[in-house]
Amino acid sequence: MSSQYAIVAEGPSRVRLESNVEIPQPGDDEVLIKVHSIALNPVDWKTLAYSSTPGAISGCDFSGTVAGPVGPKCKRALSEGERVCGWIMGANPLRPSNGAFAEYVVAKADLLYRIPEKSSFESAATIGIGATTGGLALFKTLGLSFAERKVTPSSPSVLVYGGASSSGIIAIQLLRIAGYRAIAVCSPKNFNLVKDLGAEVAFDYHSDTCGKDIRTYTQDDLGYALDCISSTSSMGICYDALRSQPGARYVSLDPFPDRVQRLRPEIFAEWILAFTVTGEEVGLDGAFHRNPTPGDYEFGVSWCPKIDKMLEEGKLRPQKPAIGQGGLTGVAEGLERLKRGEVHASKLVYVVGQGFGELIK
């Protein structure tokens, strides 16, 4: 088989299903994956909307099986047929022939996660970029230490704004596993969910006093905030919640407004892009462009075995998959649903082999 079906960008916010797309070839540190399931992320529609590359294959998160030998520079031993999940930079202008929304994808072998025997492909597809983002944000950018330990009353508190988002659901669990007191901000309808995942307490972002209430709860000793929503209002609430003493740290998943940052210049503030973990140039437009960051790649390589262990032991639970209909044929509609904000506390997942009938057999 030399060609495949794939979802490619037509232009800003537009994709199409295309046949006879060339299957990408792995490099020296990569491996070819036969894709079983894919998951949709906000970054998928945002990349299409703001930095679209016509003809580029879209999609980041995937699960599937190893479909060939690993490259000679790979450190991780993977066998053909082994079940794995992970992510890549979809809609990549520097490598338009490779994206997760396809029958085959090429990924760096050392950044893949092994799928536990008890887990389905569908649930595993939700793990990829969320697990990497959570690790990069919490244990590299915010400077928290990772070691499995119990949460105690004296454990440091960490705010997770958007606790029921895809990234928030993973982050809360990672904090619990690492012995931190997770404080969630989300809608009241998701309070039980975030507490079940490990949040000590949850606050309603609709409240005019949300940030101040968190500062009171933490006795003005909150030193860390992860903002998974990354809006002006979410940053404002995080800044209201962080302690008055210098040294507090804030990280977001999108660029943040300078006018909010200037209100409290003593707070360390940074925004991250998980794509830097590839160690390659991120060829997106404007502020999203990044030069190669070998340090982020080294972090990702060291982080993967930790995720493997947490998944295998059942300590890290994949996000609930919401199975979409039609396989790749349903992706365009799913991206629109995600863009309209219609997906909550779950992740849209599509089984690639569905929807084509005899066409892809």
Residue 298 within a domain: no
**In a shared domain, residues 94 and 43:** yes
Residue 290 within a domain: no
Residue 263 within a domain: yes
* Cα–Cα distance for residue pair 39/98, rounded to 1 Å: 16
Tokens of 343: 């997906």
- Alpha-carbon Rg of the chain, whole angstroms? 20
Identify the band that residue 11 occupies on the pLDDT scale cut at 50, 70 and 90.
confident
- pLDDT for residue 355 is more than 90: no
Number of domains within the chain: 2
Q: What is the pLDDT of residue 358?
A: 42
**In a shared domain, residues 139 and 265:** yes
- The CA-CA-CA angle for residues 91, 93, 96, to 5°, reads 60
Residues 228-277 have pLDDT tens digits of 999 999 999 999 999 999 999 999 999 999 999 999 999 999 999 999 99
- pLDDT for residue 220 is more than 90: yes
> pTM for the whole thing?
0.95
Instruction: Please list the residues that pair with 220 across neighbouring strands.
Output: none
Output the average pLDDT for the chain. 95
Contact 2, 100 (CB under 8 A): no
The domain that holds 203 is classified in CATH as 3.40.50.720
Out of 223, 249, 272, a domain closes at 272
**In a shared domain, residues 149 and 253:** yes
Identify the band that residue 344 occupies on the pLDDT scale cut at 50, 70 and 90.
confident
Residues 20-79 have pLDDT tens digits of 999 999 999 999 999 999 999 999 999 999 888 999 999 999 999 999 999 999 999 999
Residues 111-161 have pLDDT tens digits of 999 999 999 999 999 999 999 999 999 999 999 999 999 999 999 999 999
- pLDDT for residue 357 is more than 80: no
From the CB of residue 187, how many other CB atoms can be counted at a distance below 10 Å?
Answer: 16
Domain that holds residue 91: 3-127+303-360
- pLDDT for residue 361 is more than 60: no
Higher pLDDT among residues 361 and 337, named by residue: 337
Out of 272, 292, 318, a domain closes at 272
**In a shared domain, residues 319 and 263:** no
